[in-house]
């Protein structure tokens, strides 16, 4: 008989521990598990640090402001996971969700998705792509793209309809893994200079989670009790087989899967343009995302005729406002490589503010001090950022 599962997976306004058994998933506190006092106190203190990052006015903006602080918090979480496993491993399968590595499993000391495949003598990326967890497969797609791996590894996921939750412009949306798989395939084809020889592909727009909740609720409430319970069992089985959502997205994924199983999610079959490699839906979505004006000053990616996105400060927060195009992941990687400094500042490029960055004889940029992210004039920060990004991604500072 398999052991029930104990998850160390903090979620805002919840206890950090979850028990999954035959009666479903329960959120429990440390007292319910009768843990040693020192371990219970350490878990409660660790969870309280996570709760400090909650923003009740904009929950989707919650989190650690400093990546270094998050990394240290994650390392402490791994240590707590190991202590929980040592304490309760005979009663539970103890798992931990790492924000940097995904789920850590109980059957190996360092069962990290980034290393588990290699430790077993296989390819860690392929291990992620074949995982039963949707977010592992998303991570596998990202790494496959970053490594310029074989496009054949991503092609099967063009039929992966597992949902996941993401945030855009302050709202929660539900997309399917196959949408990310398509972007990865398109990127790898571009890198190889290949014309598309796949398709047609199944596509649909991301669904606002509020729409999924309202539609699923109205349908389920109209069902007789016995049909309602049967549908719930089917949804649970579907989630367990190919989704295994994180606690924060479980309600949204449950609602979306309900609509999927009832045939209420509509899809289109579209061909990929042989030149742009985009589907008509991708081109339509990208065009709709670039129509309105953005706050100035901003950094614009792409060209004035074909903008790919913007980076700007609004209400004291820096915003990555990228259109959903195949170029977006590459732009985002370069952008974050310069804007996620642990110290919250960027080296100041001499002459950048005047539009003429100065270079040393060896071609490197001339630097003088730093520009903090909260500088009074955001154009100062954007000017130096544009100088660093020059030659990596097409961008322009617009005042």
Rounded to an integer, what is the distance from CA 41 to the centroid of its chain?
Answer: 30
Cβ contact 312:295 at 8 Å = yes
Predicted confidence at residue 61, as pLDDT, reads 61
Q: pTM for the full model?
A: 0.57
Determine phi and psi for 341, rounding to 5 degrees: -60, 140
Predicted confidence at residue 47, as pLDDT, reads 92
Predicted confidence at residue 241, as pLDDT, reads 87
Output the six-digit token pair for 137: 């497969």
Q: Is 333 exposed, middle or buried (0-12, 13-18, 19+ CB in 10 A)?
A: middle
Predicted confidence at residue 343, as pLDDT, reads 54
Secondary structure of residue 100 in the 3-state scheme: coil
Predicted confidence at residue 120, as pLDDT, reads 35
In the DSSP assignment, the letter for residue 365 is: B
| Residue 179, preceding peptide bond in cis (omega within 30° of 0) | no
Secondary structure of residue 26 in the 3-state scheme: strand
**Which helix (H) or strand (E) covers residue 43, if one does?**
helix 37-51
| Residue 169, preceding peptide bond in cis (omega within 30° of 0) | no
Q: Which residues of the chain have pLDDT under 70?
A: 1-2, 21-25, 56-61, 100-102, 107-122, 169, 289, 326, 340-344
What count of residues does the chain have? 399
Predicted confidence at residue 340, as pLDDT, reads 63
Cα–Cα separations (whole angstroms), residue 185 to 145, 148, 157? 8, 10, 10
The model's pLDDT over 1-43, given as tens digits with 9 standing for 90+, comes to 567 889 898 877 778 898 876 655 678 889 889 999 999 999 9
């Amino acid at each position: 008989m398999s052991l029930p599962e104990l998850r160390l997976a903090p979620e805002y306004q919840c206890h950090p521990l979850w028990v999954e058994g035959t009666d479903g998933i329960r959120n429990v506190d440390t007292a319910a598990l009768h843990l040693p006092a020192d371990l219970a106190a350490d878990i409660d203190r660790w969870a309280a640090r996570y709760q400090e990052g909650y923003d009740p006015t904009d929950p989707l903006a919650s989190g650690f402001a400093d990546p270094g602080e998050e990394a240290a918090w994650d390392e402490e979480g791994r240590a707590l996971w190991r202590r929980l496993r040592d304490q309760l491993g005979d009663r539970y399968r103890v798992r931990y969700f790492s924000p940097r590595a995904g789920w850590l499993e109980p059957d190996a000391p360092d069962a990290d998705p980034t290393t588990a495949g290699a430790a077993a003598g296989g390819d860690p990326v392929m291990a992620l792509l074949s995982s039963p967890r949707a977010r592992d497969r998303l991570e596998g797609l990202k790494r496959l793209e970053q490594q310029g791996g074989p496009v054949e590894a991503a092609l099967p996921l063009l039929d992966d309809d597992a949902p996941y939750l993401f945030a855009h412009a302050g709202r929660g949306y539900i997309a399917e893994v196959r949408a990310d798989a398509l972007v990865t395939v398109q990127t790898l084809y571009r890198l190889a200079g290949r014309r598309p020889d796949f398709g047609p592909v199944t596509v649909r727009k991301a669904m606002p989670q509020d729409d999924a909740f309202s539609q699923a609720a109205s349908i389920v409430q109209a069902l007789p009790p016995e049909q309602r319970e049967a549908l719930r069992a089917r949804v649970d089985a579907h989630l367990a087989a190919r989704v295994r959502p994180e606690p924060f997205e479980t309600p949204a994924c449950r609602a979306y899967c309900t609509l999927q199983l009832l045939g209420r999610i509509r899809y289109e079959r579209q061909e990929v343009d042989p030149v742009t490699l985009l589907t008509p839906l991708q081109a339509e979505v990208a065009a709709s995302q670039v129509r309105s004006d953005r706050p100035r000053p901003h950094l614009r990616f792409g060209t004035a005729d074909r903008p790919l996105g913007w980076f700007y400060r609004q209400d004291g927060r820096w915003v990555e406002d990228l259109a959903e195009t195949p170029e977006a992941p590459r732009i985002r990687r370069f952008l974050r490589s310069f804007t996620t400094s642990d110290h919250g500042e960027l080296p100041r490029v001499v002459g950048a503010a005047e539009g003429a960055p100065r270079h040393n004889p060896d071609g490197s940029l001339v630097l003088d001090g730093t520009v903090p992210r909260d500088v009074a004039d955001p154009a100062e920060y954007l000017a130096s950022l544009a100088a660093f990004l020059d030659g990596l991604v097409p961008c322009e500072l617009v005042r």
